[in-house]
Structure 1
Amino acid sequence: MIKRFAPFALLLAGPALAQAPAPAPTPAPAEGPQRPLSLQEGAALKCSAAFAIAAGPQGKGRVSLDAAQTARGKEFFVRTSAGIMDGARWPRERVAAEIGSIAQVLQRPGELEAAMSPCLLLLDASGL
């Protein structure tokens, strides 16, 4: 019996549903105007790139991180990237491109080694 009246009920409810305002869509974190990175965000992004290099084969023989520092560095990388996507409203592609360009600079002789000491301090200060 209910099956027989369901189309009729939809026919009656149609005009009421059409008049109801549509809910406003919630913007995704990457939408909206993008802003430049703050000094802290830029430093954190540089350190994220440094930790990524240090954890990979390019860092072997250049810097030495223990297993705990490597794991914390990876988490720092993830949280920094997500924070920039949310806070600065940068899309994932832009964050990845910026990390890539920073990594290019860190590949130069002495750059990774010079960056690692302040980055380890920032890692400790982050509480991770």
Structure 2
Amino acid sequence: MICRTALTLFALAALPASGLAQPAAPLPALNLEQETAVRCGAAFAIVASEQARGTPVAAKWPALGTRGREFFVRTGARLMDDTGATRPQVQALFARAASSLRADPGALPARLDSLRVPCVSLLDLAIPAR
């Protein structure tokens, strides 16, 4: 069940957030480490989606299908444990981060490029490449 939920969250972060329902409860406040992990998780979902479509915006990134999804799962689970957030709240946090990255579609490649080095470094620390 956690895998199906994680895949759903990962896929939802890759989609525009405009049609997603907001959770009834307010979103938890996050510290800098949690905000960074959410932003990177959202970036990984977007890039993995772009990689699957073969778009050039993702060419500089390592393959993110498996490791990016695992980072996303662990980040979501950690957020629920650390903040008491529900799945819908965590989903909304990732959707908000993805929406922020996509706020200006023309700026998306530059935004993703600026996140590549720090987010891949975070990914390497959390889930080393095999």
- Per the TM superposition, whether the score is higher than 0.5 is yes
Once the two structures are TM-superposed, the CA of residue 35 in structure 1 deviates from its matched residue by 5.0
2:84 is equivalent to residue 92 of structure 1: no
Structure 1 unmatched ranges of 5 or more: 1-33
Out of 97, 105, 110, which is 1:102 matched to? 97
Aligned to 2:10: none
Once the two structures are TM-superposed, the CA of residue 101 in structure 1 deviates from its matched residue by 1.3
Amino acid at match of 2:41: S
C-alpha distance after superposition, 1:40-87 (max 9, x if no partner) = 1110011000000000037832123343x4311110000001110111
C-alpha distance after superposition, 1:8-35 (max 9, x if no partner) = xxxxxxxxxxxxxxxxxxxxxxxxxx85
| RMSD value, Cα | 2.1
Larger relative contact order (CA 8 Å, sep ≥ 6): 2
2:118 is equivalent to residue 118 of structure 1: yes
C-alpha distance after superposition, 1:70-128 (max 9, x if no partner) = 31111000000111011111111111111111111212312122112210010111144
Seq. identity, %:
36
SS state at 1:36 partner: coil
Which TM-score applies when normalising by structure 1?
0.65
Which TM-score applies when normalising by structure 2?
0.64
Range moving further from structure 2, 46-55 or 69-78: 69-78
Out of 70, 81, 88, which is 2:76 matched to? 81
Structure 2 unmatched ranges of 5 or more: 1-26
Query: CA, structure 1 residues 89+112, in 2 after alignment: closer, same or farther (shift >3 Å)?
Result: same
CA contact (8 A) 2:67 2:127 kept: no
Paired residues in the alignment total 94
Query: CA, structure 1 residues 117+91, in 2 after alignment: closer, same or farther (shift >3 Å)?
Result: same
Q: Which has the higher helix share?
A: 2
Structure of larger gyration radius: 1
2:44 is equivalent to residue 51 of structure 1: yes
